[in-house]
Chain A
Amino acid sequence: MPVVLIARGLKKAYGDHLAVNDVSIEINRGESFGLLGPNGAGKSTTISMIVGGLAPDSGSVTIDGIPISQPGAKQKIGYVPQELALYDDISARDNLRFFGALYGVGGFDDALQIVGLTERQRDRVGTFSGGMKRRLNIAVALLHSPEIIILDEPTVGVDPQSRNAIFDALETLRSQGLTILYTTHYMEEVERLCSRIAVMDHGQIVAQGTLADLKNAPGAHRGVTIQLVTASAVDGLPPGVTQDGATLRIPGAPNPAELSHVLLALHDQHREIAGIETESTDLEDVFLQLTGRALRD
């Protein structure tokens, strides 16, 4: 599958603070790529460099092989900033006309239709709800039929209905083959939309792969729990296996050899098992394991 976007070794510092440190991403044509990370991880700075809005201290970005500094590369990108980058005082139609002119396009009916704002196109944007503005924010990025759409937390502060509408629109675009780069800190959004994910923290990519890759990554599993009938100590447990009363815990991914060892020990000591549970892992677990549980402000 041909690669559309290549970002290599992106770095950006503000004074002593290294906001983005050696970030590299490749996105294939037609792929939906999620950039996941807590607040302040460096996602928006990375996106700003990718879309050519911010010059990196080092590193490069190409779109279809064209450096992002060139108009030809920017023409291929549809960018949805985190902010509602719209003019409130004029109509949706006039907003689209203005932004479309920057890309040399005049029509905007398709973009309005995709985000479901055809009926309100002549209304002032200032009269729109937050969700409608978010949808219009996306429509602006679709005006020139870009090859890749880059969305920076496009669902911040919207109600569930609008979020759903936005996702319906994005899924439609994905099904039409549009390449998507999507940043968020909402796990469910990435799980719903993205086929490949990069987790970013402290300006670096700490993990990258498909959802299955991330869930199966070492350290990503919670483990297996064995519930015993009685709470007396079990002898001869392998290293790492812990006992808390009547509960034994084998951390990490299920390992048949290790599990057999524990079960054999229980059998030899005539201990009765009340139940066995595999603790399932979701993206949130992976995310918290990778980025820690400390609050990010």
Chain B
Amino acid sequence: MLKPILEFIRKDLLIFASDRRAMMISFAVPVVIASFLASITGGGETNASNRALHVPLLVVNEDSAPVTKQIIADLGKDPSVKVIETTAADAAQQIKSGKSAYAITFPKGFGDAASKALMGGSRPELPSLSDPSREMEIGILRGVVIQTTVRNLSRSVFGASPGGGQLPFVEAKSSPVSTDSQKWSGKSHAFAGMAVQGVLFLSIEAAMGLMRERKQGIWKRLRSSPVAPGTLLVGRWLSSAIRALAILTVVWGVGMLAFQIRVQGSGIGFALICLSTALMAGGFGLFIAALGKTEQQSRGLATLAVLALSMLGGAWFPSFLMPEWVQKVTLIMPSRWAIDGFDAMTWRANDLAAALPITAVLLGFAVLFTAIAIPRFRLETE
């Protein structure tokens, strides 16, 4: 079984390499677009997200003071934010993984201490956790938190809104990840997006190749051989995955050499994301070929699908800039997981543990696509 699969891979790689110009285009297109996007983001290493309404605000409340409860209740009424009460550990995890931008903790005794501070007592700390890559969200949330907190404290002490002056608490800002490493990088994201878009477009070419072979009678010949059709399709899947891996290698290679993009997280995790993305792309190619009837039809629909997967998956602009419901819906897209995975291993500087679930999901997509494709693939040509 292994020999035919290996020969299938070898043959496909030879065909891929036979048209040097087409091969170079496969490599060059994502590199050129990613370079362009990386260039126009300039030194955009601290650009931030921008969502005006219902920005998630994680709140950890360890205080039992009525004023603190009132602060949280008022925060919930603010149209700019969406309060999510949680634990300190969960808040840290959510920010570390990029799911949320900002968390505030009301420590035990905060309400009473801050109220006394308005009368000249010592100021308590108001700890916050944030994702430094998302300055704009942080700016919105921090503003709302300070305003709401001070307003409620003043009301409870003076029965009126504050007139100004020193804050009755000290902000204790921190981040669950190093601010040096987790710095939003437009360049990294551009390469992540275009790498994924590149391999998805390669999937279309692989699918078209399969459909052409069917039309040419090659699959008739293959079907007359003693090798099982499933083996032939697995061979095709792996050969597509290897080509996708080559594209990922070239795109990221250029990104690292020309744009100084670095894998700031786990190197193994980055390799796993590459591998699982390539396998997913190989499966996606089979999926297109299995569902398509004619090459022309399938090319048009598949191009549309890849553009949608790229755009909604965050290849063109980061998914955290999209509305929240879009962010949720796009979790069904492999492109979103792949791009988030690359983001996590590059500028987010996440560790291997963060890469593993993403790898698992991408492998799941790979298996799902292939499992759907193999029984549906029309091997017969009559």
**Which residues of A line the B interface, CB within 8 A?**
12, 14, 19, 44-45, 48, 51-55, 71-72, 74-75, 77, 79, 81-87, 89-90, 94, 97-99, 101-104, 124, 140
Contact = CB atoms under 8 A, between A and B. Distances in A.
A82 B221 CA distance: 10
B358 to A, nearest CB: 35
A94 B11 contact: yes
Interface string B189-233: 000000000000000000000000000111111111111100000
A281 to B, nearest CB: 35
| Most chain B CB atoms below 10 A, which of A45, A72, A82, A98 | A98
A98 B220 contact: no
Contacts of A97: 7
Interface string B1-36: 001101110110011001100000000000000000
Contacts of A102: 4, 7, 222, 225-227
Given A85-B217, A87-B218, A101-B3, A51 B14 contact: no
Given A84-B217, A89-B15, A104 B224 contact: no
Given A74-B226, A85-B218, A55 B380 contact: yes
A82 B218 CA distance: 10
Contacts of B219: 53
B226 A75 contact: yes
A130 B221 CA distance: 19
Contact of A90 (B4, B8, B14): B14
15 contacts: A19-B382, A48-B382, A52-B224, A53-B379, A54-B380, A71-B227, A74-B226, A79-B224, A89-B15, A90-B14, A99-B221, A101-B4, A102-B7, A102-B225, A102-B227
A90 B15 contact: yes
Given A74-B224, A79-B224, A98-B11, 12 more contacts: A53-B380, A53-B381, A74-B225, A79-B221, A83-B216, A85-B218, A87-B11, A87-B218, A89-B14, A90-B11, A98-B10, A101-B3
Q: Rank and list the top 5 A-B pairs by shortest CB-CB distance, nearest first.
A: A83-B217, A71-B226, A101-B7, A89-B18, A102-B225
A52 B10 CA distance: 26
Contacts of A14: 382
